[in-house]
Amino acid sequence: YHKKKICKNYSFTLLLIIINFNIMFEWFIILFTPTEEPEMAQSLIVLFLAISIGFFAGRLKIGKVSLGVSAVMFVGLFLGHLGYSMQADLIQFVREFGLILFVYGIGIQVGPTFFSSFKKEGLVFNALGVGTVFLGGIIAYLIHILANVKVENAVGLMSGSVTNTPGLGAAKSTLIEIQKQLNLPADHFSDPAIAYAITYPIGVFGIILLIIVAKNALKIDLEKEVILLKKKNKDHENVIVRQKCRVTKSEVIGKTFKQVFKEFHIDNVIISRQKQSGTKVVYSPSLDSVIKAKDVLMVVAKQKDINTFIDVVGKISTDLFIESEEDVTTKILSVTHKTAIHKTLAELDLYNQYDVKVTRVIRSGLEILAEPSLELFYGDTLMVVGNKEAIQEAEKIIGNSKKILLEPDFLSLFGGLIFGLIIGSIPIVIPSLPVPLKLGLAAGPLLAALFISRYGGVGVIHSYINNGAIHFMKDLGICMFFAAVGIKAGHGFYENFVANNGWMWIYYGCFITFIPLTLLVLISRFVFKLNFYQMVGIMSGSYTDPAALAFSTKYLDSDIPNQSYATVYPLVTISRILVAQLLILLFAS
SS (H, E, C) 27-69: HHHHHCCCCCCCCHHHHHHHHHHHHHHHHHHHCCEECCEECHH
Task: Say whether 264 sits in a helix, a strand or coil.
Answer: coil
DSSP-derived secondary structure letter, 561: H
Per-residue CA distances from 242 to 153, 245, 270, 304, 502 (Å): 55, 10, 9, 11, 59
Taking the chain, what is the end-to-end CA distance rounded to the nearest angstrom?
84
Alpha carbon dihedral 258, 259, 263, 265, in 10-degree steps, equals -10
449, 452, 453, 456 alpha-carbon torsion, rounded to 10°? -160
- Positive or negative, the CA dihedral 85, 89, 90, 94 is positive
Q: Closest by alpha carbon to 358, among 258, 349, 303? A: 349
- Residue among 232, 300, 287, 227 nearest 260 (CA): 287
Each residue's pLDDT, cut to its tens digit, for the chain (589 residues) gives 455 445 555 565 666 676 666 666 666 676 777 777 788 888 888 888 888 888 888 877 766 666 677 788 788 888 888 888 888 888 888 888 888 888 788 778 777 666 766 666 778 888 999 999 999 999 999 999 998 888 888 999 998 888 887 788 788 878 887 887 777 776 778 888 888 888 877 887 788 888 888 888 888 887 787 777 777 665 445 678 889 999 999 899 999 998 998 888 888 888 888 988 878 888 888 888 899 999 999 998 888 888 889 999 999 988 888 888 777 888 888 888 888 877 888 888 888 777 788 888 877 667 778 888 888 887 788 888 888 888 888 888 888 877 777 777 777 888 888 888 888 888 877 776 666 777 777 778 888 888 887 776 676 777 777 777 888 888 888 888 888 878 877 776 677 777 777 888 889 999 999 999 999 999 988 888 888 888 888 988 888 776 677 677 777 777 677 777 777 877 888 888 889 888 888 887 6
* SS3 state at 245: strand
**Rounded-to-integer distance, Cα 364 and Cα 433, Å:** 40
Contact 285, 292 (CB under 8 A): no
Residue 389 phi/psi, 5-degree rounding, is: -65, -40
| Torsion angle defined by CA atoms of residues 176, 86, 546 and 214, in that order, rounded to the nearest 10 degrees | -80
DSSP track, 385-420: EE-HHHHHHHHHHHB--HHHHHS--HHHHHHHHHHH
The type of residue at 56 is F
At 236 the pLDDT is: 47
β-strand partners of 385: 330, 357
What CA–CA distances, in Å, run from 178 to 144, 411, 576?
19, 33, 19
Q: What pTM, to 2 d.p., does this model score? A: 0.71
The 10 Å Cβ neighbour count of residue 378 is 24
Helical spans, DSSP H, in 87-190: 88-116, 122-146, 151-161, 165-181
Q: Do 262 and 569 contact (CB within 8 A), yes or no?
A: no
d(CA 523, CA 543): 16
Distance CA 488, CA 496 (A): 13
DSSP string for residues in 277-318: TT---EE---TTPBP-TT-EEEEEEEHHHHHHHHHHHEEE--
Residue 200 is predicted with a pLDDT of 79
Residue-level pLDDT at 544: 77
**How far is the C-alpha of 361 from the C-alpha of 340, rounded, in Å?**
13
DSSP 168-213: HHHHHHHHHHHHHHTT--TTSS--HHHHHHHHHHHHHHHHHHHHHH
Alpha-carbon distance of 575 to 133, in angstroms, equals: 7
Instruction: Give the C-alpha distances (Å, rounded to integers) separating 353 from 303, 344, 348, 349.
Output: 30, 15, 8, 6
Cβ-proximal residues to 308 (8 Å cutoff; 6+ apart), any chain: 266
